[in-house]
Structure 1
Amino acid sequence: MSDRKPSCALCERIESGRDLRYARFDVVGFEPLAPVVPGHLLFVPRRHAEHPAAYAVMEAMAEAELYAGGQDEDYNLITSSGPAATMTQSHVHVHYVPRRAGDGLALPWTATRTVYSVQEWVDADGIRDGWNAGYGSWTGSRRDAERELQHARATYPGERFRLAAAEITDWREEPTDA
């Protein structure tokens, strides 16, 4: 029986040996295709194992923890089991996610949320010159901030008032009510 599953993207990545950042015993580590923060790595058993293969999870978690302990920074170690838990690859893997103050990554169980500020400058033709004829500031989630930008651009198409600028200018972590 082969240690690899031919249709598994993680097995293919291990087989290629490309971009390995960690290799020890039966576990390798490499950057995922879409890292959520700089330094995000996947720790994956070399042999194909699917959840809930307890030994493979334990092995990958132990290597991820060993790696994390030597990095001198805060971190999350995350594993998921099944599609409802957001698992997109059936091959067991553990996410090492280094954390830094202000990194903007809000996990659903944290007591903080990331809020974004949108600033809008409206130039009122014939009323005042410059960018500060009208000014609005709005704060909320990133998705809502993007919607606010679209709304601002649609609201001031260029007749009497025109949108001089609208941008996401800042973000911060703030406590939630939870």
Structure 2
Amino acid sequence: MPDNAAPCPFCEIIAGRAPAAVVREWPDTIAILPRGGVHPGHVLVIPRRHVVDYADDPDVTGASARRAAQLGRALGVQSNLITSAGEDATQTVMHLHWHLIPRAAHDDITLPWPNRRGIRHTQETL
């Protein structure tokens, strides 16, 4: 990472240098509540190893998707499981993460949610 680049907010959380509302932890993955989630119960499932997106390392992607599926099963609700690769695909934190979003009829969530172009997440917005 270049000297002037901000640290990865997810790596900061995983390293214990930044706060987060942790939902569940595994040896390879962590699940947290995002600040300003799109719906109550919205959870981010994040691999502990830094990879940029799902195409960066298929093994890490598969392991973290498995953890997201385990959490989704434990929640026992209908949901979306979403990840993105790149800014044009609405990725704002360049560390692989899954959005696990509980759904209900008439919940007024429209997918994909709008891309807030130009907004980069910082520790304060996660």
Q: TM-score, normalised by structure 2?
A: 0.76
Report the aligned-residue RMSD: 1.7
Deviations 1:61-103 (A, max 9, x none): 1100011012121000001011111001111111100001121
Shift of 1:33: 2.1
Q: Which residue does 1:101 correspond to in 2?
A: 105
Q: TM-score, normalised by structure 1?
A: 0.55
C-alpha separation in 1, matches of 2:69 and 2:40: 18
Shift of 1:59: 1.3
In structure 2, the residue corresponding to 1:70 is in which secondary structure? helix
1:107-146 equivalences under 5 Å are 107-108=111-112
Query: Match for 1:47: what amino acid?
Result: R
Structure with greater contact order relative to length (CA < 8 Å, sep ≥ 6)? 2
Query: Match for 2:38: what amino acid?
Result: V
C-alpha separation in 2, matches of 1:56 and 1:31: 21
Q: Which residue does 2:96 correspond to in 1?
A: 92
Identity over aligned pairs, percent: 33
Q: Which residue does 2:48 correspond to in 1?
A: 46
Structure 1 unmatched runs, 5+: 1-5, 109-178
- How many residue pairs align between the two structures? 104
C-alpha separation in 2, matches of 1:19 and 1:33: 9
Q: Which residue does 2:9 correspond to in 1?
A: 9
Q: Answer yes or no: is the 8 Å Cα contact 2:44–2:98 preserved in 1.
A: yes
In structure 2, the residue corresponding to 1:38 is in which secondary structure? coil
Query: Match for 2:7: what amino acid?
Result: S
Shift of 1:38: 0.5
- Pick the structure with more strand per residue: 1
Query: Match for 2:52: what amino acid?
Result: E
